[in-house]
Structure 1
Amino acid sequence: MNLTHPFLDLDGDKLREECGVFGVIGNPEAAAVTALGLHALQHRGQEACGIVSWDGHEFFARRGLGHVAQVFSDQVMLSELPGHMASGHVRYSTTGGQGLRNVQPLHADLARGGFSIAHNGNISNAMHLRQELVEKGAIFQSSSDTEVIIHLVATSRYPTLLDRFVDALRMVEGAYSLICMTPKRMIACRDPLGIRPLVMGRIGDAVVFASETVALDVVGATFEREIEPGEIVEVRQDGRVTSHRPFTPQGARPCIFEHVYFSRPDSLFAGRSVYEARKAIGAQLAIESPVEADLVVPVPDSGVPAAIGYSQQSGVPFELGIIRSHYVGRTFIQPSDGARHSGVKRKHNANRALVEGKRIVLIDDSIVRGTTSMKIVEMMRDAGASEVHFRVASPPTAHSCFYGVDTPERSKLLAARMELEPMREFIKADSLAFVSIEGLYRAVGGIERSATAPQFCDACFSGDYPTSLTDLAQRTQRESQLSFDKVA
């Protein structure tokens, strides 16, 4: 038994936040406001960030690898981004991989002027479209799926840029929240299913767009509303705001994992406080899977609200049985296995004086590969816990995401390989339970899940993907053909 258990890396076994976007038009310090907004969205992407601004005559851009505070560290740097309009992006790579050439916002000079784009989400037919564009002579400067949209806009034959933009979006499938800039306007839009979030607010006369409401709070903007699924909002330089709805209305399918993990708890999503939703998930988990215990212990920090809800519902005291060091950098700045497992960056430790001799209920938001959950259970036992019960504030994650979340391939997801009891044995817990998908729906929306038309995108739990997955289908077909050829 390790009497001095080492700090644990708990970030290497999490689903990766997709990206975050922010934009403002009509503010004389647009770049500074954007940098502040990106700080509030840093949790959505910590690998790289960028800002593009427009001063009325030309576009200016700065992009870099690392945190917002590293890339935009002083006022001199922001002074290089003049203008009343700016957009920004924080990134964790999903499609396209690492590297400065994939850092957004992307910018290009089109026939009718400059065009920049910041994208949260993932285009699930990007490789198919890219191949078609390359065969027609397109030259790509990045490996990001976002650049496909720029080429589709550039090659569209419609007369106005807005029509070209709509024409481009009609050809893509998947998930997107976009903030685009041209010399005359800022354009914000959300995919027809509203899978990825996007909200709108104001600072005086300036219009602000962001992935989450917390970014509006931080920059002092008032929240007006969510951008509706399939809506395109156009804001001209004179302040005129126009809403367009060019797509056939569909049932909204916002990503339910925003409630579970991705969004900051002080944000609003789908009309509800994320913090309150997570507490409700924890309470639902206590109703569905109670257990005799002495303490409810969250896996910091994402498990805290659900653990509070579990404690309040069950009557079992809430305690911080795992202490996090806030002076160690997050380990998925660089998403390589070496960085994830680096001992230098491990940052959690058991509160031995609290947990020794106690029956513990551990609350976490999800189990992905299961390796981290196993280490947490081991850490509690090494600290002297008499029993360790694991409760998960989401259903089993058994399917990969193709809409902008960096999930492992399905063969590496624990729930795709094992049933509940083998999973419990794998993580070495005394008991293991997940909230049901029906319970999750009740907790976050007070609704019953429709089996034929789910109200959220829950594909990572159910395998019910709300859009076509062209690239996946073509890749699967090629792999099947290769396997057949080898056998033949």
Structure 2
Amino acid sequence: MRTEIKGLNEECGVFGVWGHEDAARITYYGLHSLQHRGQEGAGIVVSDREKLKVHKGMGLVNDVFNEEILDRLGGTGAIGHVRYTTAGDSDFINCQPLLFNSQTGSLALAHNGNLVNATALKRQMEHQGSIFQTTSDTEVIAHLIKRSGYPTLKESVRNALTMVKGAYALAILVENKMIVALDPNGLRPLSIGRIGDGYVVSSETCAFDVVGATFLREVQPGELITIDDDGVHVDRFSLSTNRSLCSMEYVYFARPDSNVDEVNVHQARKRLGKQLADEAWVEADVVTGVPDSSISAAIGYAEASGIPYELGLIKNRYVGRTFIQPSQALREQGVKMKLSAVRGVVEGKRVVMVDDSIVRGTTGRRIVQLLREAGALEVHVRISSPPIVNPCFYGIDTSTKGELIASTKSIDEIRDDMGADSLSYLSVDGLKKGIGRNDSSPNCGQCLACFTGEYPTEVFPEADHPYDKVMGGK
């Protein structure tokens, strides 16, 4: 798992297995591969064909599970989840998968993403008598499924998904099947693989390599896929689709060894770095990247610029993620604990420091200071994405413009605030070219809203959902 140091909070990770005699352990290893997508909580729900069993808790996968617990989770079907809080409080009750029991059977859900109309839907259902046990928007989906009144689970899920708006890569488990779905914009990645005679689903393909699964296909926007003992059954809940895959999956979130929509993440990041060198070359002695997600882009920048790449920054891998700390003061202290500059590399040198993004600017300021304290003569900051000037409502924790330094300050002001000698960002066109997805749409099938303000769906800040507009309610 990579331990990042910036203020960009990730979404979550979903993993599922059907038709394997040791589903819980396969899911455990799958969640390890997705740990970079969430570190606040982890959980697994298993089906033994008669009932669903759950274990979940706060912390890392290794903290939540051990051999004894996995022994108790016997079954041939499972879904798992690693969580970073994007909607709902950070506490045990919101840990996923969420498990619900009723007279007609049990239902477990694991969800990556964020619903932009969850507050309005919840308000309507509470007016009609529903009682919610969590503050997670995932519970809204469960209520919609159980309230639908349709005779089959597939019909109930299809009906529920026509009512929700936003981002969701969804895995649902009942006693005799698993259902997966992806929102009509395909904002989050989700893939299906084969393991022996069974199947796996995962937010990222890197997990397939770890558990020994073979990639089959990506779940497409608007698809509703049932996996049971008879195989994989593909259906749709939405015919109106507009692929808008989150561009930050390539820039920052996904692991370098994952393929997202048939594009390798490491290679995409190298191309972003090369494009950045074409757009913002500077005379320097050494290129270094901020560990870990910026290393690939830094290598690309070095190759394109002809400036040698060196490990100018080293990370202590035995410290937790700074962005989950409760205060900015602790977050900044965490940067000091996690990173150190290599004096032998940067002393007396003009350094190009490549990073993938700037969110609040505090981490970048501290890293520039580290390099100067280690003797760097100049520090030129190069960012392998455009300025983040708009909030994300789809599962990344940047909910207001006020949190984003690029929305309130010019590039020159950010440069001065960081104490850098120069600062340049990658252009939006450079981002699309560097990612290199083959798509004829103007945005190349990507969501670029945090850079351009052009959202693929109608969005409302969670604190200000206009109920009448969203639900037609009174």
| 2:157 corresponds to 1:157 | no
Equivalent of residue 444 in structure 1, options 425, 432, 435: 435
Instruction: Give the deviation of 1:330 after TM superposition.
Output: 2.8
* Secondary structure in structure 2 of the residue aligned to 1:346: helix
Counterpart for residue 109 of structure 2: 117
1:171 aligned counterpart, secondary structure: coil
Give the CA deviation at 1:340. 2.3
Does the 8 Å CA contact 1:123/1:403 hold for their aligned counterparts? Answer: yes
**TM-score w.r.t. structure 1 length?**
0.92
User: What SS does the corresponding residue of 2:81 show, helix, strand or coil?
Assistant: strand
Aligned twin of 2:452? 462
The superposition leaves residues 365-403 of structure 1 with CA deviations (integer Å, 9 ceiling, x where unpaired) of 000011111111111112111111000010001111110
Indicate how the Cα distance of structure 1 residues 279 and 343 shifts in structure 2: closer, same or farther if over 3 A, else same: closer
Residue in structure 2 matched with residue 51 of structure 1 by the alignment: 44
Tell me whether 1:313 sits opposite 2:304 in the alignment.
Answer: yes
Name the CA distance, whole Å, in 2 between partners of 1:99 and 1:345: 27
* TM-score normalised by L of structure 2: 0.94
Does the 8 A contact of 1:438 with 1:449 survive in 2?
no
Rounded Cα–Cα distance in structure 2 between residues aligned with 1:228 and 1:271: 12
Q: Give structure 1 stretches of 5+ with no counterpart.
A: 1-9, 479-488
- Give, in whole Å, the separation in 2 of the partners of 1:477 and 1:58: 38
After alignment, is 108-117 or 142-151 more displaced? 108-117
Amino acid at match of 1:270: D
Q: Does residue 265 of the first structure (1) align with residue 251 of the second (2)?
A: no
2: CA distance, partners of 1:358 / 1:338: 30
Partner of 1:36: 29
Contact map agreement 1:122 1:175 (CA 8 A) in 2: yes
User: Do residues 240 (structure 1) and 240 (structure 2) align?
Assistant: no
1:87 to 72, 79, 89: 79
User: Relative to structure 1, is the Cα distance of residues 27 and 333 closer, same or farther in structure 2, using a 3 angstrom cutoff?
Assistant: farther
Matched-pair contact (CA < 8 Å) for 2:162–2:237: no
2:193 corresponds to: 201
CA distance 1:450–1:224, change in 2 (3 Å): closer
Whether contact under 8 Å (1:328, 1:345) holds in the other structure is: no
Following TM superposition, by how much is the alpha carbon of 1:448 offset from its aligned partner in structure 2, in angstroms? 8.6
Name the amino acid aligned to 1:405. Answer: I
Q: Map 1:165-244 to 2 at 5 A.
A: 165-236=157-228, 238-244=229-235
Structure 1 residues 99 and 467: CA distance shift in structure 2, 3 A: same
2:392: which partner in 1?
Answer: 401
Give 1:292's aligned residue.
283
Among 115, 131, 135, the residue aligned to 2:127: 135
Q: What's 2:471 paired with?
A: none
**Residue in structure 2 matching 1:330, options 306, 321, 340:** 321
Q: Could you tell me how far apart the structure 2 residues matched to 1:448 and 1:392 are?
A: 24
Percent of residue pairs identical: 48
2:270 aligned to which of 267, 279, 283: 279
- 1:27 paired to 2:17: no
CA apart distance, 1:182: 1.2
What are the superposed Cα offsets for residues 335-392 of structure 1, whole Å, 9 maximum, x if unpaired? 5446424459721111112111111000000000111111111111121111110000
1:239 deviation in Å?
Answer: 3.4
Residue 367 of structure 2 aligns with an amino acid whose one-letter code is: I
Question: Relative to structure 2, which stretch is displaced further, 333-342 or 364-373?
Answer: 333-342
Cα distance 1:323–1:470, how it changes in 2: closer, same or farther (>3 A)?
A: closer
Secondary structure, aligned partner of 2:93: helix
Indicate the SS of the match to 1:93.
Answer: coil
Distance (Å, rounded) in 1 between the aligned partners of 2:380 and 2:441: 31
Give the drift of 1:408: 5.3
| Aligned partner letter, 2:352 | V
Secondary structure at the aligned position of 1:243 is classed as strand
CA contact (8 A) 2:4 2:292 kept: no
Residue in structure 1 matching 2:59, options 45, 57, 66:
66
Which ranges in structure 2 are unaligned for 5 or more consecutive residues?
A: 469-474
Which of 410, 421, 426 is the aligned partner of 1:430? 421
Whichever residue aligns with residue 347 of structure 2, its letter is E
| Deviation of 1:427 (Å) | 1.0
Supply the RMSD in Å over aligned alpha carbons. 1.9
Matched residues, number: 466
Does the CA-based 8 Å contact 2:45-2:97 persist in structure 1? yes
Contact kept, 8 Å, 2:387 with 2:451, in 1: the verdict is: yes
CA distance in 1: counterparts of 2:133 and 2:392, whole angstroms: 26
Q: Classify 1:477/1:30 alpha carbon distance in 2 versus 1 (closer, same or farther; 3 Å).
A: closer
Task: Give per-residue Cα distances to partners, 1:85-111, cap 9 Å, x unaligned.
Answer: 011000000100211000000011245
